[in-house]
Structures are given as C-alpha cells and as structure tokens.
Amino acid sequence: MTGPLGEYLRARRELVGPAEVGLPPHGRRRVPGLRREEVALLAGISADYYLRLEQGRDRNPSDQVVEALARALRLDTDATAHLRRLARPTPVRPTRRPERVPVGIRRLVDSWTDTPAFVYGRHADVLFANAGATALAPFFVAGTNVLRAVFLDPGAPAAYPLDEAVVANAVASLRALVAADPDDPRLADLVEELSRGSDRFRRLWARYDVGVRSGGGLRTFHHPRVGELHLRYEKLVISGTDQVLVIYHADPGSASAAALRELTRPGGNVSASPGG
C-alpha cells in the first residue's frame, strides 16, 4: 500500500517538468513530470530510498529529507506544510461536537438586510444564511453543502459560474482540511461522493494542491428576476471556530447595486433557480 505520503510525492513529481528544475529532457518520457531518480538526485538522497518513500515502505523521513524533497518538487508554503504533516502524522482527534454559529455572528448577519451573507463550516455546509443570501442563490441556504452544489448540481454553473482558479482553490482548501484531520469520516465521505460524481473534481483532487480558505474577489451571478450581478465578496474566518463568514456586496452606484437592492427589498426575495 502506497499511503498518503507516497501518493503525494508521486502526484507532485508528475507536475514538475525537467526544464523547470534545470534537467535535460533525455528524449521521450513514458510518464509526465520528473522520474523518481531525478527527484532523488535533486533532493540529494539515494534513488532506492526515494522509491521506498513513494511505495510506502518508509513513511518517516527526517526533517532534512522533507525539506530537500520540498525544494526538489518546487512546493510552495502550503504544499510544504502538507508534506510535513504527511511525514509526521498527528494523533487521532476526539469526536467533534456539532458546529454552531456564535449567537453574535447570527445576529450580525441577520441585521444586514441588503447584504447577502452566510456562514459555512469545516465540511462546507452552510450553517446560517440571511435572507439576502438565500434570495441570491438557492444553495446559500442552511443545510446545503457548497461543494456538492458546485460539483454535483448540473444547474449551478448557469446561476453561479466559477472559473477554474476559483474551483481549484476550493479543492485545495478541502485537501488542506483532510490533511489536518485525516480521520474525519464526514470529510472522507464528502471526498468520495465528489470523486464519484464529478470528473472535474477528480481531476483537481488528483493534483494534490493544498491551500487555505481566505481572501476575497469578484463573482458573477445570473438571477432569473434581476439579471446579471457582479458582486465582490469577502471571506472571513470566525475566531475560535472552523467557520467562515462570506459577505457579498456591490460597487456603489453600479447596476449590480441597484439589482441587489431590488433583490433584497422586503417581499422581493425570489431565489434563483439553478436551472433557470
């Protein structure tokens, strides 16, 4: 059995071309990326030892070897941290309690009558959403899993189109969660369900990219009543929890701001249909 460490090493070396690390191509290659012996050479370890790591016959490399492999595979900060976790697995964590959004956050989010906002938890489940969020999109409602909506709902791309970078970041964030708590059965079930139902997810998951949930950006929504909205969003980690607060807002004076006011006015909350 290869094991998580070996799977990660293999996946990452397949993403690095010889030219990226200053190696000659050496003719035709049967596999993408670097060969095992090339990674070993770059890391300054024997090819046999690297083979044992990738095959799962040695799962506890030294810190020096881990750092050398990270440099050889050109891993960024998040990916290197993930490699360290795989080389030094943490003990099994106790069963987690059900996630509850802090009362103060619930009241704050509910008070934003014209600002769509919702909170999702560590499994990407929407835990709480205000009326503006549920009016904006049907999957921003408590009980919905955002990742299932993105990858498994056939109507979601029409209502909530996402570019490849955004979707890849979501998968990388999920990978980071699984790495931090590999014994969480709900995360394992979610990965299995998404892998079974989505070719796009399987392709991105196989890259073994690792990231963190943070930041903001711009999203486009297609709403059946108010049309197209271009909204900025912010993602804020709620202190002391694994929860993330997502807030959508429009540029002042824009057409999207007018559409958002229409959408969130009392009596005007007509949710978008994914298939509409």
Contact 221, 137 (CB under 8 A): yes
Residues with Cβ within 8 Å of residue 10, at least 6 apart in sequence:
2, 54
Beta bridge partner(s), residue 118:
129, 246
> What is the Cα–Cα distance from 71 to 48, expressed in whole angstroms?
19
What digits encode the pLDDT tens for the residues 194-238?
999 999 999 999 988 887 656 678 889 999 889 999 999 999 999
> Could you give the angle at the alpha carbon of 190 between the alpha carbons of 96 and 82, nearest 5°?
75
Percent of residues, the chain, with pLDDT higher than 90: 49
Which residue from 246, 229, 230 is spatially nearest to 238, judged by alpha carbons?
A: 246
Confidence band of 276 (pLDDT split at 50, 70, 90): very low
- Residue 167 has a CB neighbour count (10 Å cut-off) of 17
Cα–Cα dist 220/161, whole Å: 7
Which pLDDT value is given to residue 3?
84
Asked if residues 136 and 272 have their Cβ atoms less than 8 Å apart, the reply is yes
- Cα 56 to chain center, whole Å? 26
Q: Give the bridge partners for 236, in sequence order.
A: 245
Q: Please, which pLDDT band fits residue 256 given cuts at 50, 70 and 90?
A: very high
Residue 251: the pLDDT is 96
Provide the pLDDT for residue 205.
Answer: 94
Per-position DSSP letters for 121-181, written without gaps between them = -TTSBEEEE-HHHHHH-TTSSTT-BHHHHHHH-TTHHHHS---HHHHHHHHHHHHHHHHH-
pTM of the model: 0.71
Residue 272's pLDDT band (cuts 50, 70, 90): very low
Question: In the beta sheet, which residues pair with residue 240?
Answer: none
Q: What is the mean pLDDT of residues 175-195?
A: 88
**Backbone torsions φ then ψ of 262, nearest 5 degrees:** -65, -40
> Residue 80 CB: number of other CB atoms within 10 A?
17
pLDDT tens track for 40-98: 999 999 999 999 999 988 878 888 999 999 999 999 988 898 899 888 876 555 556 77
Distances (CA, A) of 84 to 45, 79, 180: 17, 9, 11
Interval 105-129: pLDDT, tens: 999 999 998 899 999 998 999 999 9
* Angle subtended at Cα 43 by Cα 55 and Cα 209, rounded to the nearest 5 degrees: 65
Pick the range with the lowest mean pLDDT from 34-43, 92-101, 185-194: 92-101
Distances (CA, A) of 150 to 104, 155, 180, 201: 29, 9, 23, 10
* Residue 166: per-residue pLDDT: 81
d(CA 78, CA 51): 24
> Percent of the chain having pLDDT more than 70?
90
What confidence tens digit (pLDDT) does each residue in 134-161 have?
999 888 999 999 999 999 988 887 777 7
- What is the pLDDT at residue 88? 82
CB-CB neighbours of 218 under 10 Å: 10
- The DSSP code sequence of 15-42 is T--GGGGT----S--SSSS--HHHHHHH
* Residue 92 three-state SS: coil
Mean per-residue pLDDT of the chain: 86
What pLDDT is stored for residue 160 in this prediction? Answer: 76
Give mean pLDDT, residues 6-20. 89
What pLDDT does 92 receive?
A: 54
Q: With a cut of 50, say whether residue 169 has pLDDT above it.
A: yes
